């Protein structure tokens, strides 16, 4: 499982400047649990291909995290990893993943993975580098992208197919590319395992980690920026995203379109 933070802006800005030092400090505090690597995807212009930097080190111990979150960009996705049991802590398994001009980070666990792998075309599967379910989820999005002209619709179709196979899985994700920041808010009946709950209780992290771990929220710090974030950090004026939905935000004007995953 992971923590997600996304920023879209009509003017160049950094993640640090957008959310403020206190919120970013709160976010970094989550490495007490989510310390199995970090990653950031950024675009300097809406038409850019995202630039991605990933690490298997804890964000709080890696000076590159500070550099990545202080660059002025038009869009960002930041990810803190809490590795699923049995999955290696290595750069190939760190989010965001990048391919075909799009970057994606996922918060959840999709098990058993074999049913997900069975959905992938051989050509798409050949590009896999790591061992995570998350990278395979991204591969399915890419597969659907080849069948539709719209990235958000490709995301929705991929999530809809996975939801039928994995009714209880968290499919929460942030994607950056093609001039958009896209948020998947789809955690259905997901719940933390008892062992995860005990690990969280051993820290002094906010109670939201136990009460509403898988939710995603949206905030508008000002007229020029939109922030999407996981629970457990920050005192922004958050509003919940609709459940089982895909939200697509334009980097040009911050217009937002939200559609249900199981669209008619």
Is 60 exceeded by the pLDDT of residue 86?
A: no
What are the backbone angles phi and psi of residue 246, rounded to the nearest 5°?
-120, 120
Q: How far apart are CA 98 and CA 141, in angstroms?
A: 12
| Cα atoms in the 13 Å half-sphere on the side-chain side of 135 | 18
Binning pLDDT at 50, 70 and 90, where does residue 214 land? confident
- Hey, where are the domains in the chain? 2-260
Q: How far apart are CA 55 and CA 41, in angstroms?
A: 12
Q: Per residue in 191-201, is it b (16+ CB within 10 Å) or e — as a string?
A: eeeeebeebbe
The answer to whether residues 124 and 145 touch, using CB atoms and an 8 Å cutoff, is: no
* Of 206 and 116, the one with more pLDDT: 116
Least confident of 29-33, 94-98, 121-125, 227-231: 29-33
Instruction: Give residue 35's pLDDT.
Output: 87
Is 80 exceeded by the pLDDT of residue 69?
A: yes
Q: What residues contact 153, with CB distance under 8 A and at least 6 apart?
A: none
Query: What is the percent of the chain with per-residue pLDDT over 70, rounded to a whole number?
Result: 90
Q: Which residue in the block uniquely carries the two structure tokens 């709080």?
A: 60
* Of 144 and 196, the one with more pLDDT: 144
Into which CATH architecture does domain 2-260 fall? 4-Layer Sandwich (3.60)
Instruction: Give residue 57's pLDDT.
Output: 92
Q: Which span out of 187-191, 212-216, 258-262 was modeled with the highest average pLDDT?
A: 258-262
Q: How far apart are CA 84 and CA 167, in angstroms?
A: 19
Instruction: Give residue 205's pLDDT.
Output: 64
Binning pLDDT at 50, 70 and 90, where does residue 200 land? low
Q: How far apart are CA 70 and CA 216, in angstroms?
A: 23
Average pLDDT of the residues in 108-118: 94
Tens of pLDDT, residue by residue over 159-175, are 999 999 999 999 999 99
Write a three-state SS string for the chain: CEEEEEEEEEEEECHHHHHCHHHHHHHHHHHHCCCCCEEEEEECCCCCCCEEEEECCCHHHCHHHHHHHHCCEEEEEEEEECCCCCCCCCHHHCCCEEECCEEEEEECCCCCHHHHHCCCCHHHHCCCCCCCHHHHHHHHHHHHHCCCCCHHHHHHHHHHHHHHHCCCCCCEEEEEECCEEEEEECCCCCCCCHHHHHHHHCCCCCCHHHHCCCCEEEEEEECCEEEEEECCCCCCCCEECCCCEEEEEECCCCCEEEEECCCC
Q: How far apart are CA 68 and CA 41, in angstroms?
A: 9
Do the bridges between strand 225-230 and strand 180-185 make them parallel or antiparallel, or are there none, so unpaired?
unpaired
Is 70 exceeded by the pLDDT of residue 64?
A: yes
Tens of pLDDT, residue by residue over 227-237, are 999 988 888 99
């Amino acid at each position: 499982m992971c923590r997600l933070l996304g920023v879209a802006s009509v003017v160049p800005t950094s993640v640090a400047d957008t959310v403020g030092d206190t919120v970013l400090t709160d976010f970094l505090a989550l490495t007490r649990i989510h310390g199995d690597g970090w990653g950031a995807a950024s675009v300097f212009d809406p038409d850019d291909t995202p630039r991605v930097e990933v690490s298997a080190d804890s964000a709080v111990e890696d000076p590159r995290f500070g550099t990545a979150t202080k660059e002025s960009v038009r869009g960002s996705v930041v990810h803190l990893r809490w590795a699923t049991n049995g999955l290696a802590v290595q750069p190939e398994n760190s989010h965001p993943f990048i391919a075909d001009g799009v970057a994606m980070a996922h918060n959840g666990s999709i098990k058993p993975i074999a049913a997900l792998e069975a959905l992938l075309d051989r050509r798409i599967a050949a590009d896999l580098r790591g061992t995570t379910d998350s990278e395979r989820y991204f591969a399915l999005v890419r597969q659907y992208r080849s069948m539709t002209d719209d990235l958000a619709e490709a995301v929705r179709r991929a999530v809809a197919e996975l939801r039928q196979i994995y009714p209880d899985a968290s499919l929460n994700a942030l994607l950056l590319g093609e001039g958009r920041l896209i948020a998947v808010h789809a955690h259905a009946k997901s719940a933390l395992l008892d062992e995860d709950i005990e690990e969280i209780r051993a820290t002094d992290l906010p109670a939201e980690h136990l009460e509403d771990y898988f939710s995603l929220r949206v905030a508008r710090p000002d007229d020029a920026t939109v922030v999407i974030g996981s629970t457990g950090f920050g005192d922004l004026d958050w509003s919940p995203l609709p459940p089982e939905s895909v939200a697509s935000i334009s980097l040009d004007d911050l217009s937002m379109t939200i559609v249900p995953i199981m669209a008619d």
